Amino acid sequence: MTKPRIGYLGMGLMGLPMALRLLAAGYEVIVWNRSTEKCGPAVDAGARLATNPAEVAAQSDLLLMCLTNAKAVEAVLFGPSGVASAEHVPEVLIDFSSIHPETTKALAERLASETGTAWLDAPVSGGTPAAKAGTLTIMVGGRLADFDQVQPVLKHLAQNVTHMGPTGTGQMTKLVNQVISGCTMVLVAEAVNLAEEAGVDATRLAQALGGGFADSKPFQLLAPRMSARDFEDPLGAVATMQKDLVTVCDVGETVGASMPMTENALRLLNDTAKDGHADADISTVILTYKRDR
């Protein structure tokens, strides 16, 4: 069976390594990013560069998208030279962005009405290491038939892909993920700070607690970075988690779910961002604890 031509919109921390994996798997990939220079590594690996989202759509059989927020998603789809203005739009769009579930539903309905394109909301978890390794966790909302159609593509990107239900349920599941992830990230910083202030060698924590009840993937990834103050090659930006936890708190209020831990984690991330680290690695939250000494 001929592999579909894949259009990929967004070459950020997650989009670029995902596109590279698809190229390595033998797919023809057409890429676009608002900042063209970020497409360089994908083009060097064999991707074709498009000048705008409409051009990507017109040349693709399947459209993928990983953008920073809902405003960016709407602009890429419906703005000047956006996807919806293309003469040909693929039958299915997979959105790996993390945005509000209700916004997802509204955008999906608008895209379907204007182009007939089906929407799969498929936010991802695992950070850049998993994106590079093809071991992401992907939670998908949308029609089951569309989900089944794209699984051969998703298998190159993820080790765990789950269909959660209709449009919006993928985003809702990602919010549940972010409650656990966001609070854990801040809690790891608190633990590392406690160790350092008490005179314990925090660089040994990952080894010392490995395999115990306190161990987790975020702990193993973040504790060494925090203790070494190693913020290079970001796993994910502070601003990204901020955005998601704002959405979590909004949805929590709407459905009547108490979110005290998430609200406190968001407060600490807000402080980190105010200190100039919004676009820096999430590990910089450790600096907020040191600031308050």
Q: Which two tokens stand for residue 116?
A: 């007939």
Distances from the Cα of 29 to the Cαs of 39, 56, 60, 73, 293, in angstroms? 12, 9, 8, 20, 50
Q: Is 174 a catalytic residue?
A: yes
Cα separation of 131 and 92, whole Å? 22
Angle, to 10 degrees, between the axis of helix 260-272 and the axis of helix 238-255? 150
Q: Residues 42, 31: contact at Cβ < 8 Å?
A: yes
Let me know if 9 is exposed, middle or buried by CB neighbors in 10 A (0-12, 13-18, 19+): buried
Cα separation of 72 and 34, whole Å? 10
Cα separation of 151 and 175, whole Å? 22
Q: Residues 36, 14: contact at Cβ < 8 Å?
A: no
DSSP for 146-178, written as a single string: HHHHHHHHHTTTEEEEEEEESTTHHHHHHHHHH
Q: Residues 189, 199: contact at Cβ < 8 Å?
A: no
Cα separation of 20 and 29, whole Å? 9
Cα separation of 103 and 244, whole Å? 13
Catalytic residue selected from 38, 71, 155, 174 = 174
Q: Which two tokens stand for residue 293?
A: 């000494």
Active-site residue list: 174
